[in-house]
Amino acid sequence: MSANTMEKNIDLKVSKLAQNIIGSEIIKLAAEVNEKIKQGEKVYNFTIGDFNPKLFPIPAELKAAIIAAYEDDQTNYPAADGMLELRQSVAKLLKERGDLDYKTDEIVIAGGARPVIYAIFKALVDEGDTVVFPVPSWNNNHYTYLNNAKPVLIETTPENKFMPTAADFKPYVGVANLFALCSPLNPTGTTFRKKDLEEICDMILVENDKRLAENKKPLYLMYDQIYWELTFGETKHYNPVSLRPAMKNYTVFVDGISKSLSATGVRVGWSMGPKKIIEKMKSILTHVGAWAPKAEQMATAVYLNDLKNYEVFLSDIKSKINDRLVGIYKGFQSLKAEGFKVDAIAPEAAIYLTVQFALHGQTKADGTVLKTTQDVTKYILDEAKVALVPFYAFGASDDSNWYRLSVGTCKVEEIEAVIESLRSALKKLK
């Protein structure tokens, strides 16, 4: 029997977890977009939650420091919880710019935000525990699945800019083990209002007073603020611990340089939280081997020690991102004013614009009706050459007509053409 025949006859069994894991909807859409581009089609690709490094390069000083660290042979294993120099720089950054006071042993460094989130779930959530999170949101469903936990999805609304409220969480506070929140939010680019976050924190604190008296595991909060430095206009970022200092006992943060410094491929992230939890996360990350490379850690430490240069870079990147977000937002408002069934929420933060295509039930020129969100998404891609990610890819209802539009790879000079291409496609619908 040949090797090929043997392979065909063998049923390669895998774990139940691997068998049932769901692939990324964004990756599926990206494959279709990339195939069109490969065939020579012009596609305005707004699906990628990343930066084009030719448009958004990392800081020149950070790049030079990375090269210098490699030239200095900083290529062996880093410390398990991250290089002390970097944890000191992060502590300084958080205190001076983020109104957060964390010691170096309350901070752990990892290879970006993803392993941080994985470690938080593994450190706080037992099999069968309940994880509550709003949708749309990024990947909470997958991390909950990887932990064999019970997901509770709270569908948010455009009236509140897709941000959750205490009232949304209240029915689940007694059974929840983890609330997973993100602000500024991926995929919407919107942020918590101070009052809403305060009310959620107060609810957690009241619940934990009860649990403390009953000697039960607390209700924890994972707070993803990876985009916190990228706010625009009058928008202000709020965090649970600054608003309610008692939340420091129950909050574990997700943070890093990937978005603020457009350094998604540099892979330096961190978490801060109660020392006991951070120590357990360190142990988990050690076994996974999810360290940020030592050279990148040392370079980031050098860069973050100069917060004046950091501020200069932030000012520049925020201006470039805001120009793109505002330009496209104004374009959508023009289309809306012309009577087309589109809309957009004014940009507040991150690299995302929340846009709407209320086109369900409309008819294409060939008589085909756009019945589903998939139909609408495909029409916008095929006819307008605009690629977007529907909110159902982030856990929202399949019939949601809202989308994430990411500007990290957008060229300012193409915005007018994008809006005109959408206008042309929308005119063909009845």
Q: What is the pLDDT of residue 31?
A: 79
Which domains, ranges and CATH numbers included, belong to the chain? 17-56+315-427 (3.90.1150.10), 60-311 (3.40.640.10)
Reported as a single tens digit per residue, the pLDDT across 251-299 is 999 999 999 999 999 999 999 999 999 999 999 999 999 999 999 999 9
Section 376-384 average pLDDT? 95
Q: What is the pLDDT of residue 307?
A: 96
Q: Mean pLDDT, the chain, as a whole number?
A: 95
pLDDT of residue 26 exceeding 90: no
Among 134, 108, 253, CA closest to 187: 134
Burial 362-379 (b: 16+ CB within 10 A, else e): bebeeeeebeebebbbeb
pLDDT of residue 328 exceeding 60: yes
Reported as a single tens digit per residue, the pLDDT across 343-367 is 999 999 999 999 999 999 999 999 8
Helix (H) or strand (E) holding 85: helix 84-98
**Position with higher pLDDT, 286 vs 32:** 286
User: What's at 368, amino acid-wise?
Assistant: T
Sheet containing 150-155, strands listed edge to edge, beginning at the edge strand earlier in sequence: 107-110, 269-272, 251-256, 220-224, 178-182, 130-135, 150-155
Q: Which two tokens stand for residue 245?
A: 């200092």
Model confidence at 238, pLDDT cuts 50, 70, 90, reads: very high
Model confidence at 4, pLDDT cuts 50, 70, 90, reads: low
Under 8 Å CB-to-CB from 56, ≥6 apart: which residues?
262, 317, 320, 408
- CB contact at 8 A, 143 and 129: no
Q: What is the pLDDT of residue 38?
A: 86
pLDDT of residue 243 exceeding 60: yes
CA dist 93 and 148 (Å) reads 35
Among 230, 217, 139, CA closest to 178: 217
- CB contact at 8 A, 398 and 310: no
- State whether residue 366 is helix, strand or coil: coil
